[in-house]
Amino acid sequence: MKILALSDEVVDVVYSPQVKERFADVDFVVGCGDLPFYYLEFVVTALAKPVFYVHGNHDRPSQYLSDGRLIQTAEGCLPIEDQTCGAPDERKGPLLLAGLGGSLRYNDNPMHQYSQIEMHRRALALAPQLLLNRVQRGRYLDILLCHAPPRGIHDLPDRAHTGIDAFLDFMRRYRPRFLLHGHSHVYRNDTVTATRYYDTQVLNVYPYRVIDFDRVYV
Ligand SMILES: [Zn+2]
């Protein structure tokens, strides 16, 4: 099971006529925020695989496409903000995803910014769906899709890039196999982008990363 994860930046290796050949073995795609809708729409059309996404702090409520249309969601893609859903896996039944996008609040822009307490509330609001997963599938979830990282893991000292406390609780409680995030841009080869926290592998996917669901990264 291969997942193409995207975040924060349009990259030529994906936004390319060769995307289908390069990522032929990918089963589905996730967007970790701060990505233009045209990019997600390109990927869903070119790869013809499901695309799930959450929002980043720079995402606006609506975006113009090159043909002048104003759109509120990336067409053909599934926003999973504050929701759980299943990504198709023919062998083992669906992979269980949940989405908690956005970042810590750092200015007056109301979009996709939250206090630490608001993030705790959002995580708590997912509990009934996660419990249902546990009853029906034997586990709470497989992948938590985020924009910001957890507090103290791949985060940065400034307020906008401080990580989220609630994600630490979330991982201790629900034990997803992966937490995928972006938001922390990576400019150096020696930057840590994979960290284990309890049973969860926290991966910074900026600006793109192919993830083998069955591989142990860290
Ligand atoms: Zn961001």
Each residue's pLDDT tens digit in the chain (218 positions)? 999 999 999 999 999 999 999 999 999 999 999 999 999 999 999 999 999 999 999 998 888 888 888 888 899 999 999 999 999 887 888 999 999 999 999 998 879 999 999 999 999 999 999 999 999 999 999 999 999 999 999 999 999 999 999 999 999 999 999 999 999 999 999 999 999 999 999 999 999 999 999 999 99
Helix ranges restricted to H, the chain: 19-22, 37-47, 116-125, 127-137, 165-174
Q: Is residue 217 part of a domain?
A: no
CA distance 7 to 30: 9
Distance 35 CA to ligand 1 centre (A): 10
Q: Is residue 218 part of a domain?
A: no
Distance 190 CA to ligand 1 centre (A): 21
Query: What is the CATH classification number for the domain harbouring 124?
Result: 3.60.21.10
Provide the residue range defining the domain that includes 192.
2-212
Question: 0.95 cut: is pTM over it?
Answer: yes
Answer whether 140's CB lies under 8 Å from 134's CB: yes
Instruction: Record the tokens describing residue 38, joined without a space.
Output: 């045209």
Domain count, the chain: 1
